[in-house]
Amino acid sequence: MTKLTAAQHTEQVIKAYSKGDPRLVEVMKSVITHLHAIVTETNLTHEEWFDAIDFLTRTGQKCDNVRQEFILLSDTLGVSMLLEMINHRTGDRATEPTVFGPFHVDGSPQRRSGESIIDSPLPTDEPLEVFGRVLDTNSRPIRGATLDVWQVQSNGLYDVQQGASVRNLRGMFTSGDDGKFSFRTVRPVDYSVPDDGPVGEMLRGAKRHGYRPAHIHFVVSAPGHVPVTTHVFDAKSPYLNSDAVFGVRDSLVVSMENGKCEKDFTLEPVTRSGG
């Protein structure tokens, strides 16, 4: 009697998961194929597999209602950015998307054009004026677009990392007749993603740092257009080529020198297929 090969074994497992919802069957086939390939291609030992299980167990144990270590794992493995790229494929003219991140808060204060988003000034703050226009892909201004803005403080922490009720450096703006928006803030700083858990161990094991280059987060939306979740990065950051979460795109890097930062956002129209 001939012995079952590893490839035949994998086929058996795939077959056992071939009934049910077609999308589930498709995804399970891919998961099993790639998971089995990892084990065979690397000749994984039992000890290594148990180390991996221990790592994932501790990743789960690190999660609570404010800390999500699995999302951080997805971010630092480049999966979150890949999902963004696959699910928000827009044309060349639209502003490039990047990761959403864990520090967005719903219901930021609605602010007037030109208003400051600084609610709790810090001694290390460097003032910054941010301005630009929201445009369509024919370079026509979009009036009444919404810009949801949030960013890190000059101490390297988001407000929410200092307490659930602390609010600073957040705001919702509406573009004017000419598509223009502006607000006053502080220059964002480079900061580390939380690195005191299993993801931090992984980064150190790979000789990677946990820094994200200084940036301001934006979600820009307008009726009839595809919204974009994106950042504006400081061109002076030394971490542009080694972002811990692989989120930098050249088109999003701008000067934040001399207290000014200019960036236009371009939105695509929604197409009939859902855009």
Which residues are at the interface with Fe ion (CB under 5 A)? 101
- Shortest separation between residue 72's beta carbon and ligand BEZ, angstroms: 6
Judge contact between 113 and 137, C-beta under 8 A.
Answer: no
Distance CA 162, CA 241 (A): 29
The stretch near ligand BEZ (CB under 6 A) out of 26-34, 49-57, 97-105, 256-264 is 97-105
For residue 53, what are its two tokens? 């299980």
* 103 lines the binding site for ligand BEZ (CB under 6 A): yes
Q: Of the candidates 94, 193, 253, 261, which one interacts with ligand BEZ according to CB under 6 A?
A: 193
Considering only residues 6 to 65 of the shown chain, the ones binding ligand BEZ according to CB under 6 A are none
The C-alpha atoms of residue 225 and residue 72 are separated, in whole angstroms, by: 30
Q: Pull the structure tokens for residue 253.
A: 């890097």
Q: Does 101 bind ligand BEZ (CB under 6 A)?
A: yes
Among Fe ion, ligand BEZ, none, partner that 226 touches (CB below 5 to 8 angstroms by kind): none
Answer yes or no whether residue 252 interacts with ligand BEZ by CB under 6 A.
no
- The answer to whether residues 212 and 239 touch, using CB atoms and an 8 Å cutoff, is yes
User: Minimal CB distance to ligand BEZ: which residue?
Assistant: 101
Smallest gap from residue 37 Cβ to Fe ion (A)? 34
Nearer to Fe ion, 153 or 175 (CB): 153
For residues 246, 209, 233, 218, the Cα torsion angle rounded to the nearest 10 degrees is: 70
Looking at the Cβ atoms of 78 and 102, the one nearer to ligand BEZ is 102
Cβ-contact 249, 118 below 8 angstroms: no
Contact call for residue 135 and ligand BEZ (CB under 6 A): no
**Nearer Cβ to Fe ion, position 101 or 171?**
101
| Nearest Cα residue to 262 out of 216, 213, 211, 212 | 216
Residue 75, binding choice from ligand BEZ, Fe ion, none, Cβ under 5 to 8 Å by partner class: ligand BEZ
Give the three-state DSSP class for 233.
strand
